Amino acid sequence: MHRISCPIKDVSAADLGVRWNGPLPEVLAEDTVIHNSYRLHLGVIGASHVVTVTSVSAPDQPLFREEISCTARSKGQPLPMYAELPGYRLQSAISTLDDAAFRSQAEHIAALDTLVVQFPGEGDFHITALGGAPTEDGLEWASYHVYPSENTIVTTWSRFNLA
């Protein structure tokens, strides 16, 4: 797990939004998945995430970008439960849990074998986790945004078709 020291930006699940194909915000921690000639760049920003799909040969020329953050809400739209764009699908879920269930889920997320980042404040579980993988015809990724002060976890699942 990465531990990041930065100003706290995203503090409420209700403030999350989504923005597609915007500029790349500052990335605090990152991972990359390569699939054939495509690159899936996974970035944690503040307590949020940005995912960029490019070709391996042109990593500075995005084919697609998804940003889920509080900033995205002000420049994009509120986070929907479901959205589709050509070749892309997003699903999200917001879970508010009792203390025991929240701790159990947060411990599970913190232990994932993926990009997990812990932010200052709000105890041990102010974390964002982000992971991706290839599919038969594209790339998919999932994120977990954990808000301890609300006992809330926002989960997103996205898929981008390359065919």
Domain ranges of the chain: 2-161
Strands (DSSP E) contained in 60-147 are 64-69, 77-78, 82-85, 88-96, 115-118, 127-134, 138-147
What are the pLDDT tens digits along the chain (163 aa)? 666 766 666 668 888 999 999 999 999 999 999 999 999 999 999 769 999 999 999 989 999 999 999 888 877 789 999 999 999 999 999 999 999 999 999 999 999 999 999 888 767 788 999 999 999 999 999 999 999 999 999 999 999 999 7
Q: Which residues on neighbouring strands pair with residue 129, listed in sequence order?
A: 116, 144
DSSP 101: H
- Compute φ and ψ for 125, nearest 5 degrees: -115, 30
Rounded to two decimals, the pTM is: 0.92
Q: Residues 20, 6, 124, CA angle at the centre, nearest 5°?
A: 100
d(CA 132, CA 10): 22
Residue with tokens 């997320």: 109
**In the prediction, which pLDDT does 154 show?**
96
Question: Which residue, 17, 150, 159, is CA-closest to 95?
Answer: 150
